[in-house]
Amino acid sequence: MHDRTRDLPEDTLLVRVPAADRAWARRLPRVPDGYILTVTVGSADLAPVPADDLVAGGYRIVGVAADHRPLGRLVDVCVPPDLRSRNPGWWIELVELADRVFDPRLGPVARVLAAELDLHRRAATGG
């Protein structure tokens, strides 16, 4: 079986942030220069988001939960370790907005969020 997290940098985390409406991208902290972070959206009614909000913020949507299997009013942001270590203030700002932070190296997380993690992995590797 292929390890779906293998192509993500070691220590990558998935940050779950509540999203009340389509203005969620405007509320996330602007990603530091040099990075574009992938995001999955937990409910179809939270998309589309104004492209200007996404681009200006440094985010890119790589998946939206299906109407028949919504995850809820949330977005999950995939954050690599180098971004966290180089920009601790930004990282604290994002975590303060979060409901949860998932570590994909943990077996239960990897199993439950496998399909979502695969979307982030494919975006990261161009696959």
Contact 7, 78 (CB under 8 A): no
pLDDT above 70: percentage of residues in the chain: 91
Please, what is the average pLDDT of the chain?
Answer: 87
Q: Is the pLDDT of residue 6 over 60?
A: no
- Structure-block tokens of residue 2: 């292929």
Q: Where are the domains of the chain?
A: 13-125
Q: Is the pLDDT of residue 83 over 80?
A: yes
Who contacts 113 (Cβ-Cβ below 8 Å, separation ≥6)? Answer: 14, 76, 102, 104
Q: How confident is the model at residue 127 (pLDDT cuts 50, 70, 90)?
A: low
Cα angle, residue 54 at apex, residues 52 and 58 outer, rounded to 5°: 115
C-alpha separations of 48 from 15, 16, 76, 77 in Å = 20, 18, 15, 16
- Mean pLDDT in residue range 25-53: 93
Phi, psi of 73 (to 5 degrees): -85, 80
pLDDT, greater one: 81 or 70: 81
State the pLDDT at residue 117. Answer: 78
Cα within 13 Å of Cα(45), Cβ side: 10
Distance CA 64, CA 75 (A): 9
- Mean pLDDT in residue range 42-70: 89
The residue type found at 8 is L
